[in-house]
Chain A
Amino acid sequence: MYDFTFEITYDPGADEYVDLFIDRESLRSEAIYSCLDPTELWMLESVTGDPADLSAVDELLLDESVDRQSFSARACNSTRTTSLLTESQRRRVAYTYVSDVEYCESVPLIAATYIDGGVLFEQTRTDDRVRWRVLVQDDSKIGHLYDTLSAKLGEGLSFSFEHLTEVDHWESGLLSRADIRAEQRETLTVAVERGYFETPREVTLDELADELELPRSTVSYRLRRATAELAKRFTEQQL
């Protein structure tokens, strides 16, 4: 299996849905797509973030006239239905089914014109970036896909190829990422990078606080909240 990963960066104003993520840094979206032929696709999108930011997402996420699929200057000519599957304080999960596609410049539908038998797609949105991971059994059509995708980008979008590699390990949690607060995630990320969770610890709380330019008590609180939340979610997933 091959992993073709690339990123599309959006200028502000280029896409109303991406604008939400540019304006609200707590927001993060992860989605999986399935598409077996170029006439229909379904997607499951999980958006996490602060409650106030999430309420701004609700309107666009559930508005079936909002085109979250096309990345070209041409809107999809298709039928779209969306339903909300999860609505919690810090998370939404929406299911969208796109059918009767005459044309639709979305990554999965374009891939389906080149690759028979189905492809797995994972998409992550944060800030102005949409990262795509395309998993295919063989890579013989990836060159065509690259050429086509990069050529169809709308105004204000730029394409950046990341890698094409044979998959030999798996780190993705797909939709299982825990929905902790953005500031907790940032603190946790720095703590892990600096070796706070190594044995013995490679960095002290005071050093982390200095680096983050935060009071020690704040860093301590965020780490405890983050680890508590992750532990609870982890346990829930095992049930």
Chain B
Amino acid sequence: MTAENPPDDERTKTDASAGNQYPEDVLVSPDWVDARLDRFASDEPDLRLLEVDVNTAFYESGHVPGAGRVDWKTDLRSADAHDILAPEEMASFLGSHGIAEETTVVVYGDNWNWFAAHLYWQLTYYGHPDVRIMDGGREYWVEYDYPSTTDPVDPPTVEYGGMLDPPANPEARASREDVQEALDTRTVLVDVRLPEEFRGDITKPPGIDEGAVRGGHIPGATNVFWAENLRPDGRFKPPDDLGAVYESHGIDPDDDVIVYCRIGERSSVTWFVLEELLGYEHVRNYDGSWTEWGNMIGVPIEVGE
């Protein structure tokens, strides 16, 4: 592959992560985390770090010191309701990781923070006051030789006293009814899946059980692959480049935007980019996504480009 990056020997850990051009209250650099490892590991609940991987086996092979393990399949979904966590389940999840309402929560994970972004989105929806993503996620941390450990992490449980019911930011989430109402309106639907998923060539990625009976996309949706948000090393693109991705698709900061993917996790990355990094005004994540829409009876779909 013809490399576009500077030669590797010119890159250092510090150079590589000093360039966080986004507000630190939503996105922190690996160096920022590295400088606070003792506080993440402390019994005091002011800072907590959580690793959420798509491939849940990664955590056991080594994680950031002090980072708690989150299993998205069991911890971030309400199995009986087939939904995101209910308010009381979220409170109990947070308390069990030593997180109180005043805790600064930093999340990171594999696949460039797919499920970390999903947890970020859930916490924002419910209104936890301070949650941040670590730029570059797990891969960047490992590849640039930041410290890791296999030591277990088990902070003291706390009682989460924050008010999560009703959700503080319901406008972060779109339901299927919201999407149906948005059809044939000025609302911009952004499908962040691969082009071959968008076109309907495949109904779900290979080796995945959870999918839809039909392939294609929601009528009128624009396909902006989620990985277009990232640089080759996995960190978010700088503001100008990131803004250009969406401008080139004619999506403007004052548009009403609904993002979706297959199960609402990749779209959480794009939701985070538009809502938190680029400051778009109205961005909702349709977490039912294609597994819901593609399986629903009587709703229209489109196939092809």
Where the two chains meet, the residues of A that have a C-beta atom closer than 8 Å to any C-beta of B are: 4, 13-16, 67, 69-75, 77, 102-103, 105, 113-114, 139-148, 150-155, 158-161, 163-164
In the bound complex, CA of A215 to CA of B233 (Å):
55
Q: Which single residue of chain B is at the shortest CB-CB distance from A138?
A: B207
- A151 & B227 in contact (Cβ 8 Å cutoff): yes
**Chain A residues whose C-beta falls within 8 Å of the C-beta of B111 in the assembled complex:** 144, 147-148, 151
Does B5 contact A74, Cβ atoms closer than 8 Å? yes
Interface residues in B226-250 by Cβ distance below 8 A to A read 226-227, 230, 232-233
Contact residue among A72, A148, A164 (Cβ-Cβ distance under 8 Å from B206) = A164
Q: Is the CB of A74 within 8 A of B233?
A: yes
Please state if A154 and B1 are interface contacts (CB–CB under 8 Å): yes
Query: What are 13 A-B interface contacts by the 8 Å CB criterion?
Result: A15-B1, A69-B1, A73-B3, A73-B4, A75-B3, A77-B8, A105-B232, A147-B54, A148-B111, A151-B112, A154-B1, A161-B196, A164-B206
> Is residue B184 contacting chain A, with contact meaning CB distance below 8 A?
no
B162 within 8 A of partner (CB): no
Q: Which of B112, B143, B208, B232 has the most CB of A within 10 A?
A: B232
Residues of B within 8 Å of A113, CB to CB, are 58
Give the docked Cα–Cα distance between A153 and B194 (Å).
Answer: 12
Indicate whether B202 reaches chain A with its CB closer than 8 angstroms.
yes
Interface size class of B (residues with CB under 8 A): 20 to 34
A103 to B141, CA, bound (A): 11
Q: Mark B167-206, 1 if CB is under 8 A from A, else 0.
A: 0000000000000000000000000001110000110011
Closest Cβ of chain B to A148, distance in Å, is 6
Within the complex, the shortest CB–CB distance from B16 to chain A, in Å, comes to 11
**B1-25 contact mask (Cβ, 8 Å, vs A): 1 or 0:** 1111101100000000000000000
Which residues of B approach A to under 8 Å, CB–CB? 1-5, 7-8, 54-55, 58, 111-112, 139, 143, 145, 194-196, 201-202, 205-208, 225-227, 230, 232-233
Beyond A77-B143, A105-B232, A154-B1, 7 additional contacts (C-beta under 8 Å) are A13-B2, A73-B1, A74-B232, A75-B1, A103-B143, A144-B207, A151-B111
Of listed B1, B4, B227, residue having the most chain A CB within 10 A = B1
Residues of chain B contacted by A142 (CB below 8 angstroms) = 206-207
Asked whether, in the complex, the Cβ of B3 is within 8 Å of the Cβ of A67, the reply is: yes
**Which residue on chain B has the smallest CB distance to residue A150?**
B194
Say yes or no: B54 contacts A159, CB within 8 Å: no
- A75: nearest residue on chain B (CB-CB)? B3
Least Cβ–Cβ distance between A78 and chain B, in angstroms = 9
Q: How far is the CB of A52 from chain B (nearest CB, A)?
A: 24
A2 → chain B, closest Cβ, in Å?
A: 8
- Please measure, in the bound complex, the distance between the C-alpha atom of A206 and the C-alpha atom of B225, giving whole angstroms: 51
- B114 → chain A, closest Cβ, in Å? 8
Choose from A70, A102, A145, A159 the contact partner of B1 (Cβ within 8 Å): A70
Chain B residue at smallest Cβ distance from A16: B2
Q: Which residue of B195, B202, B207, B230 is within 8 Å of A139 (Cβ)?
A: B207
- Which of A13, A73, A141, A160 touches B55 (beta carbons < 8 Å)? A141
Contact assessment for B55 and A114 in the assembled complex, using a CB-CB cutoff below 8 Å: yes
Compute how far the CA of A102 lies from the CA of B196 in the bound complex, rounded to whole angstroms.
31
B178 to chain A, nearest CB (A): 26
Tell me whether B205 and A147 are in contact (CB under 8 A).
yes
Out of B54, B145, B227, B230, name the residue touching A144 (CB < 8 Å). Answer: B54
Once the chains bind, are B232 and A73 in contact (CB under 8 Å)? yes
B-side contacts of A72, CB under 8 Å? 1, 232
In angstroms, Cα B202 to Cα A159, docked, is 13
Question: With A and B bound together, what is the CA distance between A71 and B167 in angstroms?
Answer: 43
Least Cβ–Cβ distance between B104 and chain A, in angstroms: 29
- A34 vs chain B, min Cβ distance (A): 21
Could you tell me if A154 and B196 are in contact, using CB atoms closer than 8 angstroms? no
**Residue among A71, A142, A161 with the most chain B CB within 10 A?**
A161
How far apart sit A69 and B3, CA to CA, in the bound complex (Å)?
11
The 3 closest A-B pairs by CB, nearest first: A142-B207, A75-B3, A74-B232
Provided the pairs A102-B145, A154-B232, A160-B196 are in contact, do residues A143 and B5 lie with their beta carbons within 8 angstroms? no
| CB contact under 8 A between A4 and B232, given known A73-B1, A77-B8, A151-B227 | no
